[in-house]
Amino acid sequence: MLYYSLNHNSPKVTFAEAAVRGQAPDKGLYFPEYIPQLPTDLIKNIRSYSKEELGFIVMKPYVGESIPDDVLRQIVAETINFDFPLVKVTEDIYSLELFHGPTLAFKDVGARFMSRCLGYFNRHAYHHTTVLVATSGDTGGAVANGFLGVDGVEVIILYPSGKVSPIQELQLTTCGQNITALEVQGNFDDCQAIVKQAFMDADLTGKLSLTSANSINVARWLPQQLYYFFAYQQWHLEQPPVICVPSGNFGNICAGLVAHLSGLPVKHFIAACNANDAVPEFLKTGNYQSKQAVATISNAMDVGNPSNFVRILEMFNNELPALQNVLSSYSIDDVTTAATIKNVYEQHNYMLDPHGAVAYYALNDYLQQHTSDNGIFLETAHPVKFPDTVEEATHTKIPFPESVQYLQGKEKKSIVMPASFEALKEWLMKR
């Protein structure tokens, strides 16, 4: 398997090269030269596979010869060594809970897979790899946890000051060791733009071996397919599900679409967005317009110009009607999000986080119009990460999960930085 740049002005590379570089030299995102097709009997017999074996079968074609099979099996096993339960919420709606990993967020899978891949690729290296990553919330904690203590890798996380939840901030600012948090005085789009500019700067790329741990990196993006296979393993209805994904940078739903095009049965996809509605507007009008990010209570989705949407367009040859046949998109405001948390808790005794609430509402609305369908929404983060919003809506104190008890009483350690590339460059060049 080789990967090409979506800007079509760089040579094709292996999985290892794509993972280490993050972006292509022409600044395009890497994309697999083809989408592998699943073995014909895999879906028919999917319940007979262990999670580990299923994960290996799915990921092997993308990794190719870059990692030996025994090492890849170990990487997959370590990546997914927690539960991904499919929980019934109503008669026709199920929640795929992706918050049972070490940082209580769906991004644990991609971060753990990528960190272990880079650890393998750097096993004989005499220089450090610097992972530069922007986060709107959960990516930072997952990447910090996944890369903590990995030899030969330094991680620098940019996050928007005052725009991540308290637990999210503690997860990415209290690690120490090879993890540094930069508190940027701006929004997520500012952080993402600064990181992208860093990869384009000859001085920095000449001094540092830079790579990205955002979902633009194939090693972070592609393993997210596994959620969808684990959901289907637990799906007991004959008709394939409609799947609704809370969407910010569109890496997660993009991975789901790859899984579907490789042969996983899904009846329809829904991208559930908050007030940041670039993609819903595009699917409605055919006109794509990136926008300044709007702050919402579902902060991890506060992205005005989602990087991965270009990959989705590539999958459908930039043909809008073909994309519309497979994908719908909704924009849900904060008032509706909070009301959904309240109503679902009162009526079904199920506690949503704000991102899951956006997805639940969009899926429920879709199913009201498609009454013969059933669906799954992705619950991407534990409600405890958003205590103010969830506790106000439910009037219930959220128990602190045991896996994050260690954060209580810790003090954040961050470096405050203006929202400018020049500030980041000066800081990096002086290190």
Residues annotated as catalytic are: 107
Sign for the pseudo-dihedral over CA of 58, 60, 64, 67: positive
Whether 404 contacts 169, CB under 8 Å: no
Angstrom distance (rounded) from CA 86 to CA 349: 16
Whether 184 contacts 172, CB under 8 Å: no
Residues whose CB is less than 8 angstroms from the CB of residue 71 and which lie 6 or more positions away in sequence, other chains included: 120
Phi then psi for 425, rounded to 5 degrees? -60, -45
Strand order in the sheet with 415-418: 209-212, 129-134, 153-160, 179-185, 415-418
User: What CA–CA distances, in Å, run from 310 to 108, 130, 402?
Assistant: 23, 25, 39
Output the six-digit token pair for 193: 């733009």
Q: Which helix (H) or strand (E) holds 5?
A: strand 3-5
Q: What is the DSSP string of 43-86?
A: TTTGGGS-HHHHHHHHHHHHHTTSS-HHHHHHHHHHHT-S---E
Residue with tokens 């829904």: 270
Residue 190 CB-density burial (10 A; 0-12 exposed, 13-18 middle, 19+ buried): buried
Coil/strand/helix, residue 173? helix
User: What CA–CA distances, in Å, run from 79 to 56, 63, 76, 425?
Assistant: 11, 15, 5, 33
Whether 227 contacts 106, CB under 8 Å: yes
Q: What is the DSSP string of 190-244?
A: HHHHHHHHHHH-HHHHHHSEEEE-STTSHHHHGGGHHHHHHHHHH--SSSPPEEE
Angstrom distance (rounded) from CA 90 to CA 376: 11
Coil/strand/helix, residue 282? helix
